[in-house]
Amino acid sequence: MRAIAAGLATIVVILAVPGSAVASPPRGLTESGRLLWNLEALLHDTFGSKPIYVNYSGGPNHPGNFSTHFLDDARSRYFVYTFAAARHSAFRLIRSGAPPKPVIGVAGGETPLTVLGAYISCGSGRWLSEHWGNGPEKWQIDCLRSAP
């Protein structure tokens, strides 16, 4: 009888714990997968379960800014998560006096992304940036050093 009671108590404790958050990227992800996992963990850490938009208000040389605010159909994209339980990102938000600069090329470039106006640090002097212009058909992000 004690064994059954102990087993039921364990089940109750397991059921009482809210949805488990994943504190590190799943094994076997590509580098792009790890970048996306850390971005999504940062968004979950910052906004919880609120709907997220990435807003563009200044053209290709200005960063996409993640927030809970929808600007309008022309400047806001609804962000759809790939990793529903990602938490505890290795990325950090930094409000810098000297923000990272976009890297602009002939056929496109990379622009640092922001969350609520703060830049996303990947560590080691690198910033999370998105590619625009010529390139792959899917959204491409990478951790890059800022242009001089």
33-57: pLDDT as tens digits: 999 999 999 999 999 999 999 999 8
pTM over 0.95: no
Residue 13: what pLDDT? 32
Q: Where are the domains of the chain?
A: 24-145
Residue 2: what pLDDT? 47
Residue 4: what pLDDT? 43
Residue 63 in tokens: 């960063």
Higher pLDDT, 147 or 95: 95
Q: Classify residue 114 by its DSSP letter.
A: E
Cα dihedral sign, 10-14-16-17? positive
Distance CA 118, CA 148 (A): 20
Distance CA 134, CA 90 (A): 29
The helices-and-strands tally (H runs, E runs) of the chain is 2, 10
Q: What digits encode the pLDDT tens for the residues 5-24?
A: 444 333 333 333 344 577 88
pLDDT at 128 over 80: yes
Across the range 124-144, mean pLDDT stands at: 86
